[in-house]
Amino acid sequence: MSFLLLTLLTGILWSSPDSLSARTIGPSPALRSVLNRPVPQVPARMQVANMQLELDAQARREIQADVDALYRNENYLQIKLRRIRTYLPLVEAELRAAGMPDDLKYLVIQESSLIADAVSSSNAVGYWQFKQGTAEEVFLRVDRQIDERKNIVSSTQGAARYLGKNMATFDNWMVAIVAYQMGPGGAKNYFGSQFSGQRKLQIDRKTHWYFKKFLAHKVAFEGYQDGFVSQTESLQAVPLQGPTTLKSLAAEWSVPLERLEAYNKWTRDGHIPGDKTYTVIVPGASDIRPPVLAERRPQAVPSPSDPSLLAGNVPSASAILTSAPELYRSRRPAKAPWQHSWACEKVNSAA
């Protein structure tokens, strides 16, 4: 989980739909008031997830240097703030649904600056910077047609699963967050079990740099996503099951196709397959509903006493699945991932 290359970051920022208005018309008065605020200062005590942190003077200086760097370039800052205001409500909703601490939302800002197609030097991709193998472990589809790492909702669900598994392993959110960057194996070798179960931590020069970088993003952007509304675009997450296309959805929802494509880079060619439920991100929408797709309407499954079965007319497996989508449709877990049996089984098998 490494951070994206600076050159690629700069190029994507200035070509993104959210950045064009910033470059063309400049910051609104509301955004200008945010930009004119003093740079946030790192406190001596912080509450992060379920942890109470005490920061010594040297740690505060290191973290403050990162906060200052995030505020140094006004153009870059206003683009990032617009992205935070646009995307973070969706991230917050998914973390809340998964039982995750709200503070984890700052990790997606740290990882990708909320850029859908960000690519790191180690070939990690998307909002939460997953490599392909890790993405598939958390049930994200990655192939020539679909890359859910570029879907803000799907990738946040995957990140919640991954972070929940880390928490189940280490029982400490600091270690779970660092394990997001170095992997569970690397975190186990680096930390051992010294922080397991600890809720009060001292942050000093020995604290891992990645966690201090995370704290810098929390200090820099906490509370700022509500500081301005104008010139940002509201997004709606619409779950639906194909097959369909962005082109047909744009026509049905009266949304410009290029805008729909800009927020749904996860479908490489604009086609949405029918293998499971996907989430389409719709810009500027208020009450969009999934279309009724005739080709996916349920078909009746014959009962065991149906005469057609006695005649040898056995329904295909695809017909049975189509008639009972609840059997295979992806569902959001009602519990936090580390409370599920599958998480415990994976942790135990890895131990």
The domain spans of the chain are 6-221, 234-296, 298-351
Distance separating alpha carbons of residues 331 and 217, to the nearest angstrom: 31
What is the model's pLDDT at position 312? 42
Please compute the mean of the pLDDT values over residues 103-109 and round it to a whole number: 97
Owner of token pair 């301005």: 228
Calculate ∠ Cα 342-184-145, nearest 5°: 70
Indicate the class that CATH gives domain 234-296: alpha beta
Q: pLDDT tens digits, residue range 189-237?
A: 999 999 999 999 999 999 999 999 999 999 999 976 554 444 457 899 9
Contact 274, 141 (CB under 8 A): no
CATH 3.40.50.300 fits 6-221, yes or no: no
- Name the token pair of 175: 């270690």
Per the DSSP assignment, residues forming a β-bridge with 195 are: none
Helices 57-70 and 209-221 cross at an angle (nearest 10°) of 60
What is the model's pLDDT at position 288? 72
Task: Give, as one character, the DSSP assignment of residue 47.
Answer: E
Contact 63, 219 (CB under 8 A): yes
Q: Amino acid identity of 176?
A: A
- Cβ contacts of 122 within 8 Å, gap of 6 or more: 2, 131
- pTM value is 0.75
What is the model's pLDDT at position 1? 53
Is the pLDDT score of 160 beyond 70? yes
